[in-house]
Each structure stands twice: as C-alpha cells, then as structure tokens.
Amino acid sequence: MRELVNNIKNQAIASLSDASSLSELEILRIDIFGRSGKFTLASKELKNLKPEEKKEIGILINETKNTLETLFIEKKNELESNVRVWFDPTIPAIKRPQGRLHMITRAIDEISSVFEKIGFTRTRYPEVEWDYYAFGALNFPKNHPARDDWETFFIDEKDSPKYGPMLLTPHTSSGQIREMERLKGKPPIRMINLAKTYRRQSDASHIPMFHQFEGMVVDKDISVVNLKGTLDYFASNFFGKERVTRLRPYHFQFTEPSFEVDISCNVCKGSGCKLCKEGWLELGGAGMIHPNVLKAGGIDPNVYSGFAFGWGVERTYMMKEGLAVPDIRLLYSSDLRVLSQL
C-alpha cells in the first residue's frame, strides 16, 4: 500500500511537469482527486489493512494529497500567467474629443493676421475707460445720446476733474486718441486695436459685451481711396471673393465723410432673414478721421489726414463663408453644434 501511494505521487508529479495547458491540468486533477480518482480508490483500500497499518498509511495518504494539491495550485498559477492577451497600455480607454480654440479667439487671430500682412500693428487699450477718450476727444457733444446711461455702462466711481466719468468702453475708437498720444502726435500710424466693448443692447445681432477691431491710418495724403482699398483687401482675404460688400453714406461724430460698411448675409444668401432683415449685415462704420479728433491727438490736420474703421468681431465672423450662426448670442452659449464649426 505504501508503494501504491508513492507511485501515485511520482506519476502525478511527472504529469504535472508535462501539462502545458489549463485543460490538461484539469483532466489530471480529476484523474488524481476525482470521485473515481486514484486517491479515492487508494483510500477505500484502508479497510483491508491491519489496524496498525491503517494509521500509518492514512497519514501518508493525507500528506501526499496535501503536497500534490499545493503543486497543482502552483502549476495552475504558472499556466495562467503564461496566457497573454495583446494590450497596449498607452491607448486611452475612451477616445476624448479634441479641444479647440473658441470661435472668437480664432476670429481675432485671423483678423490680426490679415491686417498684419499690410503693415498694421496690433494694439490694445483699456476696457475701463474715461469719458474723455470714449467721447470727448472723439468729437461727441456733451448732450449726445451715446453718453446717456441708457446706452453706456458707467462705473460707480468719482469723476476725474480732467477726463470726466469712468465707464466701460463702448467702442475701440478710444484707442485712436491713446495711440496718437502714445506716438506723441508723430505719424505715420497704422494701428489695429482689438478689445472688448460694452453697450446696453441685446438681440439676435447685438450683445451687451462684444469684441471690436479698430483700424486707423494717419499719414500725409491719405484719402478715401486708401480706406476703400484697405476694406476691399480685408473683405477679399477674410470672407472670400464671392461675398459682396457695399458702402452707405452715414454720420459718425469722429469721421467726415463717414460710411457704413455692409456685406451680403451668409445665412440667407441675401434674401433676408432674422439676422440680417434685408439680406445685408452691417459690419461697422468707417470714414476719414475728423480734424477735431486729429487735433485732440496732437496731430495737425492741415498736414496729415487719416481714415478709421471699427467693426464687431462677432458679427464679422458670423458672415464668414461656411458658418451658420443665426443668432450672435449662440457664440457665447454651450451649443457645440455652433461652436464646433470650422
């Protein structure tokens, strides 16, 4: 009986060494420990032994069984560790959407790029401004409606004895005076000023906070021809050659003569819609700088002349080819159908 138990042990160890898969290991386990396995049959033979042999052989069977069970577990762990599944740990579990710059940030970059190619220098002036720079130096009379608190956001601060009330700048035109002062009234000047502006307006084509870009050129012999050429260059490079622009005579306090610049609507293709009303969208104003504004900036209007234009970044970008933005307020929403365009 002792020899039988030792043979079972030796055969099991040899078979374990040769097992190359979990399925083979399971077959061997059943053969050794199953209901009809070798250890079960050996245990049944104990009843045929003499009493003094039963205890000795029983202890041997239990020790051998424990040893083989340990060897089976080790072999199983070994075979499981050899099962390889291809996996690249550098691949993200979930493919995340790619981030991008906001449409307005991209618009500012594109606008800057167009003007920089023809020699304009980008500047930026304060969003919190004085009445003098926003209105007074730009030839606005004291009773002008734009200086009313129904049109402009005034800051609750003490008025400056020199510059008047403090306000949120309603247009980037205040940068004209500051740029002329910075250069100490010494042209040539070729400026493009991009900044936030604030007005009490809110509808499909207006929002209380928006961005403007202000262009200004001052030099000798500057005329409307230079203004028209600059605007045509921008429209061609920014909107595409298929878009149509037009100039309408208008009145601004700080330019003379003055024009409104329109472009055919990209949403309705010129037929009229909620955004444009009649097929045209106003981009902004333009004109020759008023002599009084040049004087306020320390420049002699008898020697120098210049032109200026101020357009809303959002409204300009809404008219870009390939975009569909029927309401300017959507640009500051979380609607990815709008924000993911282009």
Looking at residue 333, its pLDDT comes to 76
Would you call 79 helix, strand, or coil by DSSP? helix
Q: pLDDT class for 293, splitting at 50, 70, 90? A: very high
Looking at residue 84, its pLDDT comes to 61
Q: pLDDT class for 298, splitting at 50, 70, 90? A: very high
**pLDDT of 287 over the 80 cut:** yes
Distance, CA of 171 to CA of 154 (rounded, Å): 14
Which residue, among 199, 229, 202, 196, has the nearest Cα to 309 in the 3D structure?
A: 229
The 3-class SS string of 30-62 reads HHHHCCCCHHHHHHHHHHHCCHHHHHHHHHHHH
Q: What is the pLDDT of residues 188-221, one digit of tens each?
A: 999 999 999 998 877 766 778 889 999 999 999 9
Average pLDDT, the chain: 84
Looking at residue 85, its pLDDT comes to 65
Looking at residue 1, its pLDDT comes to 66
- 115/6: higher pLDDT: 115
Q: What is the pLDDT of residues 128-177, one digit of tens each?
A: 999 999 998 999 988 888 888 778 899 989 999 999 999 999 999 999 99
> Phi first, then psi: what are they for 48, rounded to 5°?
-90, -5
Looking at residue 181, its pLDDT comes to 92
Q: Which residues contact 46 (CB under 8 A, 6 or more apart)?
A: 54, 57, 58, 61
Our separate counts of H helices and E strands in the chain read 11, 9
Q: Span 224-250, mean pLDDT? A: 86
Looking at residue 235, its pLDDT comes to 86
Looking at residue 102, its pLDDT comes to 84
Looking at residue 25, its pLDDT comes to 78
Q: What is the pLDDT of residues 252-273, one digit of tens each?
A: 989 999 999 887 777 777 778 8
Looking at residue 214, its pLDDT comes to 93
Report the run of H or E that residue 318 belongs to, with start and end.
Answer: helix 313-318
Which residue, among 150, 206, 153, 195, has the nearest Cα to 332 in the 3D structure?
A: 206
**pLDDT of 305 over the 70 cut:** yes
Q: What is the pLDDT of residues 67-83, one digit of tens each?
A: 888 888 888 888 777 76
Name the pTM for this structure: 0.65
